Amino acid sequence: MSPSATKSREATESQAAVPPVEVRGATIVEALRINGRDLAGQAAMRRRVGDSWEVLTWADYVKAVAELVASLAVLGVEPGERAAILSNNRVEWHLADQAILANGSVTVPVYQTSSPDQIAYILGHSEARVCFVEDAGQLAKVLQVRDQLPRLQRVVQMDGALEVSGDPLVMSLEALRALGRHRSSVEPDLVDERAEAVAPDQLATLVYTSGTTGRPKGTMITHDNIMWTLRSSTTPIEMRPGERLLSFLPLSHIAERMMSDFLPIAIGGETWFARSLTTVSEDLRECRPTVFFAVPRLWEKLREGVLDQLKEKPAPLRLAVSGYVRLGLRNAERGQEGQKPGRIAPRVHAALDRVLGAKLRAALGLGEAHVFITAAAPIHPELIRWFHAIGIPLLELYGQTEGCGPTTSNLPGHNKIGTVGPPIPGVELRIADDHEILVRGGNVCAGYFEDPEGTAELIDADGWMHTGDLGVIDEDGFLRISGRKKDLIINAAGKNISPQNIELDLRNHPLISQAVVIGEGRRYLTALVALDAEQLAAWAAQQQKTGDPEALSKDPDVLLAVQSAIDDVNAKRSRVESIRKFRILPKDLSVADGELTPTLKPKRFVVSQRYSSLVEEMYTDET
């Protein structure tokens, strides 16, 4: 094993001191019931109510779930049937999810940003009998397509007063729970019988892919997939009983579901619910999570926030922090290259870390965290190194919905920046002849719902799951992702080019929020670039310029800044992989406009089609 992948003595001793976390229960249903028995009075979830955080104990959790299980029985929802959830992250999301699972039924999460047409497809394809919706706005989207959903029996609104009266399809969550309380009073063994009948090989959830091309597929994940993955990943990543997590990424995505829904149940942890994406920074400081998971875009925002605040501090403090970060970066780089860190620099950095580093982490709300995770999209190695430099050893994970979340992971003290780590215990990894990453293990799903052809394409006869991602395994067994098969650009000369790392380097520039590289069938590469609105506003103020983002995107100085970023990216690549022209988009890409997936990855086809006129402008000189 090369020096860059070995554990330090301190890290090894630290790992040895952490007892393995115990994941109890054969199913997540059983794990929840164990917590209700053994951790009854401890906090399971917290939500912001007014100026304080309201606590829901494990006993409260289990009681509420039991009421809803009995309620589902009243509605005639049988084990194996599907029930959907269309909502932002909230306590009631977890209650509905665990009730569906304890009923022996199958949860179908629906992204809260989904359009009525998307909702109609997922609820129709899954034949959902019940749909839990957050509020009147989500209810309206379901009612708009109700005629396309003959199997839908009831829509349950979780928050706010019902604006629909006399509609037999609609009821409030409290009314549903009242039905359950009554049913349990006359049939007290019903809930136990249904929960205890749930088997590990039973289907737990259908997680529909985000559908960047074509209709989304319903990934079939079993209880055994969930528990196997939790057992394989918690101990290597050094999870501990009672971890505290902040939930803010969409629960409809498998990564957030595993982290803030299933993981706390498995290890007796505690989930806090952020009020919204806009309040995450404030909620972080109040929650002070011990484990923090975020997508790369949020890690970028956290770094930008630190740097922006430093600009307003006195010069001596700015210089001290800059020196601290430089030393940290130097130590991180030397460690990755297998070099000895030296004698003086680490001591100076450690001394500064106890003062400056501790204050930076506390200001972010990460002063009590010991596990920091990035996943769901590529992240630039320089961003990871920056966080390492301020005492936040960010771990990059890799996986997919079809693998129940993690497939590989960097680990504490065993972290090679620029890779996504070795396979988690029990997972087999293989690189096919065309460089596609193949996976086999207990995390691999049961296939796609009602789609035998898609399932056969996903999982071959030998049990290998074909991820669609491209990569290489290095001499230490660490995986490096090189691109996505479907994203490969084949230019006019027949050269295969992976745009992913080019786009990642572009996004590392503060002004650039997103980038989409174009070039299929063309003689050269071009790029559509979206600017970060906050960074653009800060840049404009510094340059004493005015105007809205669309006007500023045409400013000659902005064009020069983007060209400079592109020049830097091109300097590291061959001519055929260099970007010859670019266009700045009139606004940033968004999930709401269907241009980004819920994990903030650009939908390449959507963006290139929506801005096809700009694309054609860049190729007017082609013959």
Could you tell me if residue 155 is inside a domain? yes
- The domain in which residue 514 lies consists of 488-617
Instruction: List pLDDT tens digits, range 454-499.
Output: 999 999 999 999 999 999 999 999 999 999 998 889 998 888 899 9
Domain boundary among 198, 227, 255: 198
Is the pLDDT score of 17 beyond 70? no
CA-based radius of gyration for the chain: 25
**524 and 602 inside one domain:** yes
Identify the DSSP state of 205. Answer: E
Are 426 and 551 within one domain? no
Q: Is residue 11 part of a domain?
A: no
Query: What is the arrangement of strands in the sheet containing 130-133, beginning at the earlier edge strand?
Result: 170-172, 154-157, 130-133, 82-86, 106-110, 203-208, 218-222
**Contact (Cβ atoms closer than 8 angstroms) between residue 251 and residue 257:** yes
372 and 347 within one domain: yes
Instruction: Count Cβ atoms below 10 Å from residue 10 Cβ, excluding itself.
Output: 9
CATH number of the structural domain spanning residue 186: 3.40.50.12780
Q: What is the pLDDT of residue 601?
A: 87
Could you give the CA distance from residue 309 to residue 301 in angstroms, rounded to a whole number?
Answer: 12
For the chain, what is the mean pLDDT?
92
Tokens matching residue 26: 């054969």
Choose between 14 and 341: higher pLDDT: 341
Domain boundary pick from 450, 482, 514: 482
Mean pLDDT of 57-63: 98
In a domain? residue 587 = yes
* 416 and 375 fall within a common domain: yes
Residue with the bigger pLDDT between 599 and 291: it is: 291
Q: Of 341, 348, 301, which Cα lies nearest the Cα of 320?
A: 348
Task: Choose one of 183, 198, 213: the last residue of a domain.
Answer: 198
d(CA 324, CA 386): 11
Residue 286 lies in a domain: no
Rounded CA-CA distance 408/57 in Å is 33
Based on the domain organization, do 534 and 410 belong to the same domain? no
Q: Are residues 368 and 418 in the same domain?
A: yes
493 and 478 part of one domain? no
Whether 477 and 496 share a structural domain: no
Q: Is residue 430 part of a domain?
A: yes
| 14 band by pLDDT with thresholds 50, 70 and 90 | very low
Q: Using 50, 70 and 90 to split pLDDT, how confident is the model at 342?
A: low
Measured CA to CA, the distance from residue 184 to residue 138 in angstroms comes to 30
Give 347's contacts (C-beta < 8 A, 6+ positions apart). none
Tell me if 512 is assigned to some domain: yes
Q: Return d(Cα 321, Cα 164) in angstroms, integer.
A: 57
How long is the chain? Answer: 623
**Whether 451 and 512 share a structural domain:** no
The total domain count for the chain is 3
Tell me whether strands 52-57 and 43-49 are parallel, antiparallel or unpaired. Answer: antiparallel
| 252 and 245 Cβ atoms separated by less than 8 Å | no
Residue 13 has pLDDT above 90, yes or no: no
CB burial readout 518-549, b (16+ within 10 A) else e: bbbebebbbbbbbbbeebbebbbeeeeeeeeb
β-sheet with 512-518: strand ranges across: 512-518, 525-531, 579-584
State mean pLDDT over 597-612: 90
> How much is the pLDDT for 5?
43
Q: What is the pLDDT of residue 2?
A: 42
Look up tokens 């994941």; give the residue: 23
Q: In what order do the strands lie in the sheet with 428-431?
A: 428-431, 436-440, 465-473, 479-484
* 237 belongs to a structural domain: no
The domain that holds 559 is classified in CATH as: 3.30.300.30
The answer to whether the Cα torsion of 449, 454, 460, 464 is positive or negative is negative
Q: What is the mean pLDDT of residues 554-571?
A: 94
Average pLDDT over residues 115-122: 96
Pairing of strands 130-133, 170-172: unpaired
Q: Are 438 and 495 contained in the same domain?
A: no
pLDDT(333) > 80: no
Q: Which two tokens stand for residue 301?
A: 């925002």
The token pair that represents 290 in the structure block: 């011990």
What confidence tens digit (pLDDT) does each residue in 489-546 have?
999 888 889 999 999 999 999 999 999 999 999 999 999 999 999 899 889 988 888 8
Of 224-233, 308-317, 422-431, the range with the lowest mean pLDDT is 308-317
Residues 450 and 500 in one domain: no
In a domain, 66, yes or no: yes
On whether the CB atoms of residues 555 and 565 are closer than 8 A, the answer is: no
**173 and 150, same structural domain?**
yes
Q: How many CB atoms lie within 10 A of CB 401?
A: 20
Q: How far is CA 443 from CA 140, 175, 204, 446, in A?
A: 36, 38, 13, 9
